[in-house]
């Protein structure tokens, strides 16, 4: 599947999650982000619902 080149716009949680899974399946991925630097501030993260299922699949995909 590496013949497909995919451009993902936005390097936040959705963009980076998509990049992770696309690369797991062999796609060549480029990410663009309009922010000029990493945003270090933030709040506590509350993972629940469908997000919890994604985290579990992410953890079990690690080799």
Ligand X SMILES: Cc1cc2nc3c(=O)[nH]c(=O)nc-3n(C[C@H](O)[C@H](O)[C@H](O)COP(=O)(O)OP(=O)(O)OC[C@H]3O[C@@H](n4cnc5c(N)ncnc54)[C@H](O)[C@@H]3O)c2cc1C
Among all residues, whose Cβ is closest to ligand X? 10
Dist CA 62 CA 6 (whole Å): 22
Our finding on whether 10 is near ligand X (CB under 6 A) is yes
Tell me the helix, strand and coil percentages in the chain, rounded to 5. 40, 15, 45
In angstroms, give the least distance from the CB of 24 to ligand X. Answer: 18
Say how far apart CA 24 and CA 19 lie, in whole Å.
Answer: 9
Q: Site residues for ligand X, window 15-44 (CB under 6 A)?
A: 15, 32-35, 43
Q: List contacts with ligand X (CB under 6 A).
A: 9-15, 32-35, 43, 45-46, 51
């Amino acid at each position: 599947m590496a013949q497909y080149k995919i451009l993902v716009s936005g390097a936040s949680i959705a963009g980076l999650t998509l990049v992770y899974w696309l690369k797991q399946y062999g796609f060549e991925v480029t990410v663009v982000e309009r922010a000029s630097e990493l945003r270090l501030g933030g709040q506590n993260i509350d993972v629940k619902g469908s997000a919890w299922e994604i985290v579990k699949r992410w953890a079990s995909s690690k080799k």
